[in-house]
Amino acid sequence: MTAGIDTPDRRGRTGLDRTGLDLTGNPRVKVRDVTLLSCHWYVERTTTFDLQLADGTWSTQERETHDRGNGATILLYDTERGTVLLTRQFRYPVYVNGHPDGMLVETPGGLLDEEDEQSEHPERAVRREVIEETGHTVGEVQRVFDVYMSPGSVTERVTFYAASYGPATRTHAGGGLDEEGEVIETVELPFRQALAMIRTGEIADAKTIMLLQWAALEGPFSAAAAG
């Protein structure tokens, strides 16, 4: 009996070795076998599949995938004051990969929980994360785009949002959840300063860069919005 296959893992999941076996959307790909490597919190798999090449022949290939679920993130902006509200927190993976202190400036967000995934409702997740991390309860949100952040090995799809904030939307303390070991600082910046921090490397988080650039090109701080 193996956890995650025929007995529940720590998150109550079984059948994790069958993911992908029923895919039929691409006739040039035939999934042959899925091996579950681990399912501690996230799920690691090795998948063997046949891929039809340009000349019509078939190539058997093997790929490892990291499944951490899907996520959502949001840019909080105040056009009247020309500011954005970001967060700063410690990220061990970047710390061990060359970042000087591991403290990243980011847009708030996080992973969808099981209920969010089942209902395909990332907006609910991002609203929850905004309250937990920044203490703000936002009103109407704009869905900007959905992005696969690292498609070579990570299955995660992140839904990007934007919403206005201000003194009136502050309803909670923020700072993250103690039970999850979160220590999150809110960082309010002039929008133009945030853009400049991309060039200096002070903002090095992909999702944050994407949303700031969207805001400048076609979002709330774009020339069209100003006009």
Q: Which of 211, 216, 200, 223 is nearest to 86 (CA)?
A: 211
120 annotated among ligand-binding-site residues: no
Q: What is the distance between the alpha carbons of residues 109 and 124, in angstroms, rounded to a whole number?
A: 11
Q: Is 185 annotated as a binding residue?
A: no
121 vs 12, 70, 154, 165, CA distance in Å?
21, 11, 21, 21
Residue 132 assigned ligand-binding role: no
Tokens of 203: 């903002």
Q: Is the alpha carbon torsion for 80, 171, 142, 107 positive or negative?
A: positive
In this structure, how many other beta carbons lie within 10 angstroms of the beta carbon of residue 170? Answer: 15
Mark the binding-site residues, compressed into ranges: 129, 133, 182
Mark the binding-site residues for Mg(2+), compressed into ranges: 129, 133, 182
